[in-house]
């Protein structure tokens, strides 16, 4: 698993083909309050039961509020055989600060 900064992810999303899956693992109320456009939502605790919805070879950028839960999910996915996991360093909080100042913060 590797880390990516919000500004790096923004640039990468402009050119990446195919696009990575943006996987937001926050709680439903957090995701409803703010999220990166185009991100899929599977709460952290639901990952084991919904693992079949994810493709082990697909590039997956895991997102949470500050980057800690996403790192734990990324570690879990790696141990489950997923080979292309990226953690958004600083999470949506850093994304709002560095990339999208109009995104609500909490």
| Tokens describing residue 102 | 């109009």
- What is the CATH number that goes with domain 2-98? 3.40.250.10
Query: CA-to-CA distance for 76 and 84, rounded, in angstroms?
Result: 12
24 band by pLDDT with thresholds 50, 70 and 90: very high
- Alpha-carbon 2 to chain mean position: 12
Please name the residues in contact with 21: beta carbons below 8 A apart, sequence gap of 6 or more: 40, 54, 55, 58, 59, 60, 61
From the candidates 60, 64, 73, 96, which is the catalytic residue?
64
Please name the residues in contact with 14: beta carbons below 8 A apart, sequence gap of 6 or more: none
What pLDDT score does 37 carry? 96
Residues facing residue 60 across a β-bridge: 21, 85
pLDDT tens column, 42-100: 999 999 999 999 999 999 999 999 999 999 999 999 999 999 999 999 999 999 999 99
What would the mean pLDDT of 2-6 be, rounded to a whole number? Answer: 98
64 flagged as catalytic: yes
């Amino acid at each position: 698993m590797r880390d990516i900064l919000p500004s790096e992810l923004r640039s990468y999303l402009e050119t990446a083909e195919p696009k990575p899956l943006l996987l937001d693992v926050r709680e439903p109320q957090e995701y409803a309050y703010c999220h990166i456009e185009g991100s899929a939502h599977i709460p952290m605790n639901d990952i084991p039961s919904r693992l079949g919805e994810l493709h082990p070879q697909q590039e997956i950028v895991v997102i949470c509020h500050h980057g800690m839960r996403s790192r734990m999910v990324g570690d879990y996915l790696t141990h489950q055989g997923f080979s292309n996991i990226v953690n958004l360093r600083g999470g949506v909080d850093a994304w709002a600060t560095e990339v999208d100042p109009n995104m609500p913060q909490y």
